[in-house]
Chains A and B, each alone.
Chain A
Amino acid sequence: MSDITLNASAKVAEAVPRSAPISQVGFVGWLRTNLFSGWLSTAVTLALGYLIIRWAIGFVDWAIINAVWSVPNNQTQACRDLRGTGACWAVVTEKHRFILFGTYPYEEHWRPALCIALFVGLYIVSAMRRFWRKELALIWVGVLTLIGVLMWGGVLGMPYVPQERWGGLVITLILATFGLALAFPLAVLVALGRRSKLPAIKALCVIYVELIRGVPLISLLFMASVMFPLFLPEGMNIDKLLRAQIAIILFAGAYLAEVVRGGLQSLSRGQYEAADALGLSYWQKTGFIILPQALRLVIPPLVNTFIGFFKDTSLVLIIGIFDLLTAGKTAIIEPAWQGFGIEVYLTVGAIYFIFCFAMSKYSQSLEAELNRHRRH
Chain B
Amino acid sequence: MSETLDHIASAARTDAPPAILLDKVNKWYGALHVLRDVSLSVALGERVVVCGPSGSGKSTMIRCINRLETHQEGKIQVNGIELSDDLKALDDIRREVGMVFQSFNLFPHLTILENCTLAPIWVRRMPKKEAEELAMHYLTRVRIPEQAKKYPGQLSGGQQQRVAIARALCMKPKIMLFDEPTSALDPEMIKEVLDTMVSLAETGMTMICVTHEMGFARQVADRVVFMDRGEIVEVGAPNHLFENPQTERLKTFLSQILRGH
Taking CB atoms, residues of chain A closer than 8 Å to B152 are 373
A374/B153 in contact, CB under 8 A: yes
Q: Does A177 contact B (CB under 8 A)?
A: no
B119/A293 in contact, CB under 8 A: no
Taking CB atoms, residues of chain B closer than 8 Å to A293 are 107-109
Contact residues on A (Cβ < 8 Å of other chain), bracket: 20 to 34
Q: Does A376 contact B (CB under 8 A)?
A: yes
A280/B68 in contact, CB under 8 A: no
B103/A280 in contact, CB under 8 A: no
**Which residues 117-172 of B have a CB within 8 angstroms of A?**
118-119, 122-123, 151-154, 167-168, 171
A271 interface neighbour in B94, B105, B122, Cβ under 8 Å: B105
Q: Does B66 contact A (CB under 8 A)?
A: yes
A274/B107 in contact, CB under 8 A: yes
A278/B123 in contact, CB under 8 A: yes
A279/B105 in contact, CB under 8 A: no
A376/B94 in contact, CB under 8 A: no
For B102, the closest partner residue in chain A by CB is: A270
A279/B101 in contact, CB under 8 A: no
Q: Does B250 contact A (CB under 8 A)?
A: no
B98/A292 in contact, CB under 8 A: no
Tell me, in angstroms, the Cα distance from A74 to B68 when the chains sit together.
76
When each residue 80-94 of chain B gets 1 if its CB lies under 8 Å from chain A and 0 otherwise, what string results? Answer: 000000000001001
Q: Does A42 contact B (CB under 8 A)?
A: no
Query: Distance (Å) between the CB of B119 and the closest chain A CB?
Result: 4
B68/A279 in contact, CB under 8 A: no
B109/A279 in contact, CB under 8 A: no
Query: Distance (Å) between the CB of A154 and the closest chain B CB?
Result: 46
Q: Does B99 contact A (CB under 8 A)?
A: yes
Report the number of A-B residue pairs with Cβ-Cβ less than 8 Å.
Answer: 67
Q: Does A284 contact B (CB under 8 A)?
A: yes
A278 interface neighbour in B103, B118, B151, B153, Cβ under 8 Å: B118
A373/B122 in contact, CB under 8 A: no
B109/A278 in contact, CB under 8 A: no
**Which residues 340-376 of A have a CB within 8 angstroms of B?**
373-376
Query: Distance (Å) between the CB of B228 and the closest chain A CB?
Result: 25
Taking CB atoms, residues of chain B closer than 8 Å to A284 are 122-123
B105/A270 in contact, CB under 8 A: yes
**Which residues 50-107 of B have a CB within 8 angstroms of A?**
66, 68, 91, 94-95, 97-99, 101, 103, 105-107
Tell me, in angstroms, the Cα distance from A279 to B96 when the chains sit together.
9
A276/B107 in contact, CB under 8 A: no
Tell me, in angstroms, the Cα distance from A24 to B71 when the chains sit together.
64
Tell me, in angstroms, the Cα distance from A280 to B110 when the chains sit together.
15
Tell me, in angstroms, the Cα distance from A281 to B98 when the chains sit together.
15
A279/B108 in contact, CB under 8 A: no
B68 interface neighbour in A277, A289, A374, A376, Cβ under 8 Å: A277
Taking CB atoms, residues of chain A closer than 8 Å to B91 are 279, 281
Tell me, in angstroms, the Cα distance from A213 to B153 when the chains sit together.
38
Tell me, in angstroms, the Cα distance from A296 to B98 when the chains sit together.
28
Q: Does A239 contact B (CB under 8 A)?
A: no
A373 interface neighbour in B119, B123, B151, Cβ under 8 Å: B151
Tell me, in angstroms, the Cα distance from A270 to B68 when the chains sit together.
11
For A284, the closest partner residue in chain B by CB is: B122
When each residue 238-270 of chain A gets 1 if its CB lies under 8 Å from chain B and 0 otherwise, what string results? Answer: 000000000000000000000000000000101
20 contacts between A and B (CB under 8 A): A268-B103, A268-B105, A270-B101, A270-B103, A273-B101, A274-B101, A274-B106, A274-B107, A275-B107, A276-B68, A276-B94, A277-B94, A277-B168, A278-B94, A278-B119, A278-B171, A280-B119, A373-B108, A375-B153, A376-B154
Task: Show the binding face of B for A, using Cβ within 8 Å.
Answer: 66, 68, 91, 94-95, 97-99, 101, 103, 105-109, 118-119, 122-123, 151-154, 167-168, 171
